[in-house]
């Protein structure tokens, strides 16, 4: 069995230590402390705070009797791993994984400081409350309670709290699946972020999307090369103009609708809940009409390629010899070849393309006992729950664990107020999560782990 407990310097908050407490009573304190640890990941190796967060997580687990290890892929780029033995060594192990890092936040844009962990109007505010320190706090609180009470899953339970998900995962999930793969022996399935939260339907049903698949990550760098020269002179071989035209063609392209089986299953389930079928010939109109419900499928009915960065030149009167752009590309399962052929046609022969990050899409399939167990756990805590399968528009560390044959579900259960646009807060301002939602999630997660 992999490693033993690591020495850590992080301290456990008073609300999450001392006398034994229920998961629902300490999840808020754990989440607040995680939010106060600035784990901003700016990409390209520029990150902070991951070691402090990994040590804090390790301390919480050690305090409850587990034996975690903090592993570093580079100085400060730390992840925490733990494997808790189950009651039946022959039963498959199960993984819960999540990331410690967050995207940057500009404090002046927020109503509440993004690293305060403050509570206002019943919500915990901070960068990562949604993505995904709230989910980490639920996992930690539930596992701590189960350890204190001596309740074990049937198979081993593996936890991975990871660095670098908000970039490529090279310092986090990709590192642990290659350098520490032994921790995941016998694991076939996992849960992680971006699913299990409620969206209220007009009739009062609460729709809980459980992610069964993901679009790809196809981040690209585009380069145009031309003739350098003086800005005052004619130059038909202008690299800046060439990259601008190429990016414009890519941004203007309307990708055709491609409905995968998992998205079709979602549309069918939503039509049943809403009492009328969703018109598959007018999906964009339907998505706009349905608001938050429409967001569950609007990002996964087609491929996409969004320009996100332009770089060229160094002085206004100098035409540079090259110019570049970066594009966030995403394609649906089975559509990689079609996607890249279309991109190359739109870019034209003067543009070269290289991947910054490329991970294949994860096909979605709601069949099997694990999806059923996730849905049952939600229904047991919310009689209005209507779990549905869906595909994530973005991506998670699940792509790295797929290399080990591990299938991940998006499941971070939260019952939310009907007027809270939870999906808009991923990488947005004023990120926050209701304390009552976190408490609900601990109960759901605990029920689910009883089936493992």
Each residue's pLDDT, cut to its tens digit, for the chain (452 residues) gives 443 333 333 334 433 444 457 999 999 999 999 999 999 999 989 999 999 999 999 999 999 999 999 999 999 999 999 999 999 999 999 999 999 999 999 999 999 999 999 999 999 999 999 999 999 999 999 999 999 999 999 999 999 999 999 999 999 999 999 999 999 999 999 999 989 999 999 999 999 999 999 999 999 999 999 999 999 999 999 999 999 999 999 999 999 999 999 999 999 999 999 999 999 999 999 999 999 999 999 999 999 999 999 999 999 999 999 999 999 999 999 999 999 999 999 999 999 999 999 999 998 888 899 999 999 999 999 999 999 999 999 889 999 999 999 999 999 999 999 999 888 888 999 999 999 999 999 999 999 999 99
In 150-291, alpha helices (H): 173-179, 239-252, 261-274, 283-290
Q: How many CB atoms lie within 10 A of CB 42?
A: 13
- Spatial separation of the C-alpha atoms in residues 137 and 14, rounded to whole Å: 15
What the block records as the tokens of 189 is 């399935």
- Spatial separation of the C-alpha atoms in residues 130 and 112, rounded to whole Å: 15
| Residue among 342, 334, 332, 361 nearest 257 (CA) | 332
Residue 71 has what DSSP assignment? E
Q: Walk me through the domains of the chain, giving residue ranges and CATH numbers.
A: 14-194+396-449 (3.40.630.10), 214-359 (3.30.70.360)
What the block records as the tokens of 303 is 């491929």
Contact 14, 58 (CB under 8 A): no
Coil, strand, or helix at residue 380? helix
Buried (b) or exposed (e) across 248-261, using 16+ Cβ within 10 A? Answer: eebeeeebeebbbb
What the block records as the tokens of 176 is 């642990």
What length does the chain have?
Answer: 452
């Amino acid at each position: 069995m992999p490693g033993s407990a690591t020495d850590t310097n992080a301290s456990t908050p008073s609300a999450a230590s001392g006398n034994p407490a229920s998961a629902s009573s300490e999840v808020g304190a754990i989440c607040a402390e995680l939010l106060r640890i600035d784990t901003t990941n700016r990409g390209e190796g520029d990150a902070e705070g991951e070691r402090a967060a990994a040590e804090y997580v390790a301390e919480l687990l050690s305090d409850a009797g587990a034996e975690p290890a903090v592993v570093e892929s580079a100085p400060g780029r730390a992840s925490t791993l733990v494997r808790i033995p189950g009651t039946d060594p022959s039963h498959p192990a199960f993984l819960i994984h999540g990331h410690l890092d967050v995207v940057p936040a500009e404090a002046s844009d927020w109503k509440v400081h993004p690293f305060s962990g403050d509570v206002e109007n019943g919500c915990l505010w901070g960068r990562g409350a949604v993505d995904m320190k709230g989910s980490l706090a639920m996992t930690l609180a539930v596992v701590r309670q189960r350890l204190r009470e001596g309740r074990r899953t049937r198979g081993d339970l593996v936890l991975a709290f990871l660095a670098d998900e908000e970039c490529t995962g090279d310092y986090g999930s990709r590192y642990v699946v290659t350098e520490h793969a032994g921790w995941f022996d016998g694991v076939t399935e996992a849960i992680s972020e971006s699913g299990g939260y409620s969206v209220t339907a007009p009739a009062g049903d609460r729709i809980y999307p459980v992610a069964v698949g993901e679009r790809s990550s196809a981040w690209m760098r585009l380069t145009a090369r031309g003739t350098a020269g003086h800005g005052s002179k004619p130059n038909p071989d202008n690299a800046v103009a060439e990259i601008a035209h190429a990016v414009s063609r890519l941004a203007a392209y309307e990708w055709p609708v491609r409905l995968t089986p998992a998205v079709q299953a979602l549309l069918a389930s939503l039509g049943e809940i809403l009492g009328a079928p969703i018109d598959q010939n007018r999906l964009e109109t339907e998505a706009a009409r349905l608001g938050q419900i429409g967001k569950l499928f609007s990002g996964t009915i087609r491929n996409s390629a969004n320009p996100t960065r332009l770089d060229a030149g160094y002085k206004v009167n100098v035409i540079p010899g090259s110019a570049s752009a970066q594009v966030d590309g995403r394609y649906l399962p089975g559509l990689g070849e079609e996607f890249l052929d279309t991109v190359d046609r739109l870019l034209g022969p003067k543009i070269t393309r290289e991947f910054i990050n490329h991970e294949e899409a994860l096909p979605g399939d709601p069949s099997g006992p694990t999806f059923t167990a996730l849905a049952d756990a939600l229904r047991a805590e919310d009689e209005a729950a209507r779990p549905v399968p869906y595909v994530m528009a973005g991506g998670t560390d699940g792509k790295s664990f797929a290399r080990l044959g591990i299938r991940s579900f998006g499941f971070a259960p939260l019952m939310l107020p009907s007027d809270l646009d939870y999906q808009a807060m991923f990488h947005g301002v004023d990120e926050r999560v209701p304390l009552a939602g976190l408490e609900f999630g601990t109960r759901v997660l605990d029920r689910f782990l009883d089936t493992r």
